Every structure is written in C-alpha cells, then in structure tokens.
Structure 1
Amino acid sequence: MKEPYNLCIVKPNKSAFSETFIQAQIDRLKGNKKVLYGGDFPLYDDQGKFLIRSKLWLLVYLIQKRLFKKREIGVRTRALADYLKKNDIDVVLAEYGMVGAMIASACKMAGVPLVIHFHGADAHHRPTIAKYQQLYHKAFDYASAIVAVSNDMVQSLKKIGAPAAKIHLNPYGVDGEKFPLIDISNSGPYFLSVGRFVEKKSPQSVIRAFKKVNEDFPEAHLWMVGDGPLFDEAKQLITELSLTGNVTLTGVMTATEIRKLMEKVRCFVQHSVTAADGDMEGTPNTILEAASSGLAIVSTAHAGIKEAVLDGIAGFLVPEHNIDEMAAKMLSIAGDVKLAAKMGLAAHDHIVQNYDINKRIALLDGIIQSSISNKN
C-alpha cells in the first residue's frame, strides 16, 4: 500500500460546533485528506465548489431532487465517482450512516473502499432507520468496514442488517492535554451539565434532580451549557422550581470556556435516555472530557456511558428516568468532597487508559488502512 494514502472524508455539515469527534478525525488521521460536505450526499468538494460542475447537470439534479423527490440521482452519483477517481482516492470515510448509505453507489462505481462511521441517531432513531433502510442494506453489502461507538450500537447495527464481521467497536477518545486532571478537593457542591437540550439528554431530569440537592444544600449550583429545542422549557422549569439563583444557563460555549467552568465544579451530570422515537447517545464526548478532567460523574446506565463510567468507582450510574436515584447520588457527591475527588481520580485514570484520543484514532486508521489493503 502506498504511503501516505489518499483519504476522502464525507460529512453532512461544513462545520458543526458539537461534532468535535469528526474534527479530531480530520485533524489526526493519517493520509492526504480531502473533506466533502453538504447533507447526506456531498454537494461541495474540498474547495467549496459544486461537485456537479455543469450548470445543465446541476439543473437536472435539482429537478430530480426537489421536484421528483428522488434519493438516488444518477448525475450526482457519477459526479462523486468522477471526483474520487480524478483525485486518486484510496478510501472513503463516511461520517454518519446516512452519508454512507447515500454514497455507497458512487464508491462502488469508482472502485473505492468505503468505511462507514455511525455516531448515534443514525443507528437508533427509528424514523431515520426506516427512511434509509434499503440504502443501508446496499451500503452494508459494499462497505469494507462499519464503525460503532458503543456496544449498544453494535447490537443495533446487527439488528438493522449490518454483518457482524464488518462491525468494529471504536468509541470516541479525548485529548488528555486539553482536559488534564483538575484538583477538586476544595470545590463546593457545584455541578456541570454540557449538551444539547434535546429529548435524549433529558435536561429537565437534571434540573428536577438538582432541585432535591438544593433543598439540602442551598449553596449548591448547577451550570448547564448548550442550546436546543428544549432550552426554553428548561428555563421555564428552573423558574417554576425557584432555582433561578442556583442554575445558570450559559448557552453554547467553546471548549476553553467549558474547561474553565470545570475548574469550578466537582461533578458532571447528564441524564441520557432513550427518546420516544428510539434515538440514543453513542458515547458522549462531554462525559469523556469531564472524566478526563477528574470530575466525578453522575449519569444514567445508557449506551456507551456504561463503559465510559465505572459505576460506584468513577461515579454513579442510575436507571433512565429515575430522578430520585439521580438526586440521591448527586447528594452523595454534594456532601462528600473526598468521595468526589476519589471518584474523579478514578474517572481520569479510566479515560487515560481506555479513551485516549491517540489510541482511538490509531485504531480507526488501522481499520481504514485494512480496507485499502483488502482491496489490493
């Protein structure tokens, strides 16, 4: 195999604040990289230009997509296949299952191996699975490898037809240099939650659990970082529970700003649940970063969190939707800073040993290179 290889990464969004895991792959994977984007099928090349160069063929594409609502559009598939051949691409990494499903035909046309990286809703969200079911099966047949980020996701992928022999478990990793160990031994009963305000992260559950903590610890404080469709509902609940002085909604923050907040608190909380439509987490990066920083974790026994947090050692895991149990574990942390510090250290050690970003990227690179070697 030639060194370095030519890797094409295809992702839905030009940039997404929450997709730090994809950016880490772009930054750290080996090879000469070209990044395409523009939805579940890339509309733009690595220069930000339309993949479909001809104005006539671009018009044909738009008519088929918008007027006839077609999903498999020949002119678009050929444009991507031509791009892959013209740029001598050795392998394609599709970020999200929907992207892999849509571009598999183009990869096959170009004779280029395809690695599909699933992340969360693409493997669990029932409407998404129903929408792409047939294309998933075609993509699974052609793909050289399929990457899952949790054991729960591995099982979900098998259920929707992914061959077990092609599935590789590789959770996200965290950069320990960016999230080094914090000394929380002198911290107050302060809590941090980071994530989108969506059903599967159940921000209302965190607020309700914190209310019980605040009743025993009036000085307790909760910072909630993020935004989303449930933000206003969460804000209203905080007012209803008379927590406006004890809960701060920060909105979206940068990694540096979040890191500074971590230095104030002793515990990271997240009440992840399976949403009504089946949507689930993968392995939340925010939990990995908090654990790497030495914060005790209180969360739910959900998806990849079960592997990332050693229950009773690095933090506490409670059943989904059990607010009373979550409150009880948060109270344990609020009332015992030595316990929090001990768990935080254990959390840090577990992440360093098992979720180091360099090891995770190296494993993904190995999967990618094997896909090239198996083709040759």
Structure 2
Amino acid sequence: MRTAFLVGEFPSLSETFILNQITGLIDRGCHVDIYATKPKKEGKIHPDVEKHNLLSHTYYYPQIPDSYLRRVWKAIGLFLSNFFKDPILLWRSLNWFKYKKKATSLRLLYTVIPFLGKRPDYDIIQCHFGSEGLKGMDLRDMGAIKGKLCTIFHGLDLSGHLKKYGDSLYDQLFETGDIFMPISNNWKNQLIQLGCDQQRIIVHRMGIDCQQFTFTPRHPDPDGSIRLVSIARLVEKKGIEYGIRAVAQLSQSYSHIQYNIIGDGELRESLEQLIKELNAGEQIKLLGWKQKEEVITILNNSHILLAPSITGQNGDQEGIPVVLMEAMAMGLPVISTYHSGIPELVEDGVTGFLVPEKNYHELAGKIKILVEAHQLWTKIGQTSRLRVENDYDINHLNDKLIKKYKSLV
C-alpha cells in the first residue's frame, strides 16, 4: 500500500507519535513518502529516522519568506527554474479565480514544487493535523497528488486554529475529505459540532510501543529522595509554570523532592526566572531536550510524572500527551489536568490523579498525597500499565490503521 504522509516539520523530536505511525506502517509492508517542512533548527535526530532511512523518502517544500516582496522574488525563480517540469500544475497553483487568497499568497506555488513532473498516485494521503488536511485537499484538487484523503486531528487544529480562523475553517475539507480520525472522543465531538459527517469520523488514538517501556514498581530511594519529572515543550499549553509553582510550594516541607523538567522552547527563559523568584533552584532543574534513550533513562530513575496541561491564551489545547502513556507504561504514577482528551487516559484516583487547569494549590495537594503514601504507587502503576496496553499500544493501533486503510481503498 502506497501512503503519503503530509506533516509539518520533519523530523521533529516532539512528535514521536507521527514517527511511530510511519515506521509502523513501513514495518507492515507499506511504502511511505513524507512531505514536510524542514525543521527550523538542526538538532538531534531520532534513531528510527536513520534506521528506516526516512530522509531518503522525505520531500521538503521550499521555505516561504515572511516578507511578501521576498516571497514574490523567490516564487519567480521557482516558477522559471521548474516551469518545464510541469507547466500546467504551476499555472494551476496561480489560479486566482479558483483559489483566491491561497493563490495570491503564493503558498500553493511553493506547496506544489515537490510534486512537479511526478504527480504521484497513492492509496492513502495521510494528513497529520487539520492544516495538513487543507493542504492535501488543495494538492489533490490541483491534480498534484492522488489518493484517499485522511486527516488526523490532534489538538491545536481544533482549538487555537479555530479561535484564530473561525469555525468554518474546515468546511470545504469536510465536504471533500474521505475520512477524519480525531485522536480522542473529545475531538470527535468537536468535529460533529463543526458539521463534519459523523459517518466519516473514526477515533484513532496515538500510542506507544509498550515493548520499549519496561514496567517497574516505584519505591522511594533508600535516602527518601523522590524525583518528579515533566517532559514537554516549554510552551504555554504544557502548563509547566504550574508544576514549578506546585513543587516550590512544597519545597520547604519536603526538601527531599527533586523536580526535573525535560524539554526546551520559547518559555525557557521566563521559567528559569520563575524558579529563581521562588528560590527553588536547588530542587527544580531545567535539563533541556534529550534523546529518546536519555528520556527513558530519566523516567526509569523517576518516581512521579507531572503533566499540568492548560488551555493557552490563543485557545491552543493538547490532544492526549504521549509522555503520559510512556510514564504510565513504565509504572510511574502520573498527575495531570482535566484538559482535552486526558481524562480518557487518566482516570482520577485509578490510573493517576487529575486537577483543574492552573490550580497549582490542588496540584501540590496531589503531589503531597503521593509523597506521603508511596504504598499507592505500585497499584496505580499496575492499573496504568494495563490501560495503556489495552488502548494505546502502537502495534495494535497500527494494525487497526492498516485495516481502516484497506476498507477505505
């Protein structure tokens, strides 16, 4: 089965759920091509990218300059240098009468470049995030690519993007797309409210390879030390500020707590300043990005995971953070929030604890419960592992995805 993946930046260390799906399909005999935007910064590459030689099957769109004048000059060069590859497709990308602002912005021209002279025919065009679904819709309409159009909705595409662009953003996609796969029941309900045909909606969760995460019952260190961990991009919706505030609130009474934060992002400087203001530098550390193997080592040496997700000021929300699945599979008790699809994975008091968004006082209270009652850790960990194995194992999910593709084709 030939499958095209339309994604954002690739490879991206923060989107291993996409990588797991790609490699899973390849392992099941699918041919996969990837169409993406180059990462903004060169950094660490996930080992699976090299193992499966994915970059040799990855095609990048030319970078679109922010300045419209520079965009025009670059577009002229692209048009002239690629004209004889596929003049008809290039002219279609500039069809103002049909595509309006999409054509005049020149974004369609930049988007068709990897397809010129090829016009590949796929069984499935898999789009991760609604924005890529819109891109796939236009590419297919222009004749740049063929295949059944499948769109997976994750979080930002059904929250922040709707707030910014309006509830009619996906109306045309709903009419022309073949299948829509939100990653949670929460987003399924959102799609229905937006007018998407319920018969074409199938919830398809993201998952992890449980075999890569060994379950280990958790116990405090012999000296009583307890290590908390968060693994997230340092952006608003991850709510790391509230994890810092909660731990800082407990730090004077529980000096044996250590809170390690794995990740990087636009808020790193402000979070470093917050830690200083709260005089919590001895107990709270920002460790930056780590490779997958490094992350697993850190999780193995941790006792509790915090994922205090919130809704950003721009409306941006999570899907279901993969790191919660990883931690639960390894037996860590988790504390998260009543946010998006998280309660579909974490059942309060059963597979972890949940608190209201931004309520760091209650978050501190849940941390205190686990710090003082570490006899709960093993029971919660065992229940959590079972939940992930049953509903979020990537191998089962990829098997289901192949069946969905075959039935659609």
Q: Same fold (TM over 0.5)?
A: yes
Hey, what does 1:94 align to over in structure 2?
127
Q: Work out whether residues 60 and 114 of structure 2, in 8 Å CA contact, stay in contact via their aligned partners in 1.
A: no
8 A Cα contact 1:21 1:285, kept in partner: yes
Shift of 1:105: 3.1
Letter in 1 for 2:137: A
Q: 1:311-355 deviations in whole A, cap 9, x for unaligned?
A: 101211011111111100000111122112221221112111221
How far residue 219 of structure 1 moved from its aligned partner, in angstroms, is: 1.1
Q: Pick from 170, 184, 203 the counterpart of residue 150 of structure 1.
A: 184
2:355 corresponds to: 318
Q: Distance in 2 between matches of 1:150 and 1:203?
A: 23
Query: Could you tell me whether the CA contact under 8 Å between 2:167 and 2:194 is conserved in 1?
Result: no
Moved more, 214-223 or 150-159: 150-159
Counterpart of 1:46 in structure 2 is 57
In 2, Cα distance between equivalents of 1:34 and 1:123: 26
Paired residue for 2:215? Answer: 181
The one-letter code sitting in structure 1 at the alignment partner of 2:5 is I
Secondary structure of the corresponding residue to residue 337 of structure 1: coil
Deviation at 1:128, TM superposition (A): 6.8
Q: C-alpha separation between the residues in 2 aligned to 1:281 and 1:155?
A: 15
CA deviations 1:99-126 (Å, max 9, x no partner) are: 1112213324455211111121011114
Q: Percent identity?
A: 25
Taking structure 2 as the reference length, the TM-score comes to 0.80
- The equivalent of 2:14 in structure 1 is 18
Q: Which runs of 5+ in 1 are unaligned?
A: none
Contact 1:189 / 1:333 at 8 angstroms: preserved in 2? no
Question: 2:231 touches 2:323 (CA, 8 Å); kept in 1?
Answer: yes
Cα deviation, residue 72, structure 1: 4.6
- Does the 8 A contact of 2:35 with 2:61 survive in 1? no
Question: In angstroms, what is the RMSD of aligned CA positions?
Answer: 2.9
Partner of 1:55: 81
Give the gaps of 5 or more residues in structure 2.
Answer: 39-54, 63-77
2:23 aligns with 27
Report the Cα offset of residue 48 of structure 1.
4.0
Equivalent pair of 1:8/1:33 in contact (CA under 8 Å): yes
Q: Quote the residue 2:330 is aligned against.
A: 293
Establish whether residue 302 from structure 1 lines up as the match of residue 339 from structure 2: yes
Distance 1:170 1:360 in 2: 8
Counterparts of residues 129-148 of structure 1 (less than 5 Å): 130=165, 133-134=168-169, 136-148=170-182
> What is the TM-score of this pair, normalised by structure 1?
0.87
Q: How does 1:164-243 map to 2 (within 5 A)?
A: 164-187=198-221, 188-243=225-280
Partner of 1:264: 301
What displacement does 1:360 show? 1.4
Query: What does residue 69 of structure 2 align with?
Result: none
Name the CA shift for 1:46/1:255 in 2 (closer, same or farther; >3 Å). Answer: closer
What is the CA-CA distance between 1:215 and the residue it aligns to?
A: 2.4
* Pairwise CA distance, 1:76: 5.2
**Distance in 2 between the 1:53 and 1:362 partners?**
42
Instruction: Please say if residues 129 and 153 of structure 2, whose CA atoms lie closer than 8 Å, have aligned partners that are also in contact.
Output: yes
Number of residues of Structure 1 aligned to a counterpart in Structure 2 = 360
Letter in structure 2 aligned against 1:348? R
Of residues 100-109 and 341-350 in structure 1, the stretch that sits farther from structure 2 once superposed is 100-109
- SS of the aligned residue for 2:375 comes to helix
The match for 1:118 is 153
Return the letter of the residue paired with 2:158: A
Deviation at 1:14, TM superposition (A): 2.7
In structure 2, the partner of 1:69 is 105
SS in 1 for 2:344: helix
The 8 Å contact of residues 292 and 351 in structure 1, kept in 2 or not, is answered as: yes
Name the CA distance, whole Å, in 2 between partners of 1:227 and 1:79. Answer: 31
Counterpart amino acid of 2:305?
F
**1:18 positional shift:** 0.7
Matching residue's letter, 2:105: K
Q: Name the structure 2 match of 1:9.
A: 5
The alignment partner of 1:216 has SS state of coil
1:250 equivalent to 2:283? Answer no
Distance in 1 between residues matched to 2:233 and 2:202, nearest whole Å: 27
Are residue 362 (structure 1) and residue 399 (structure 2) matched? yes
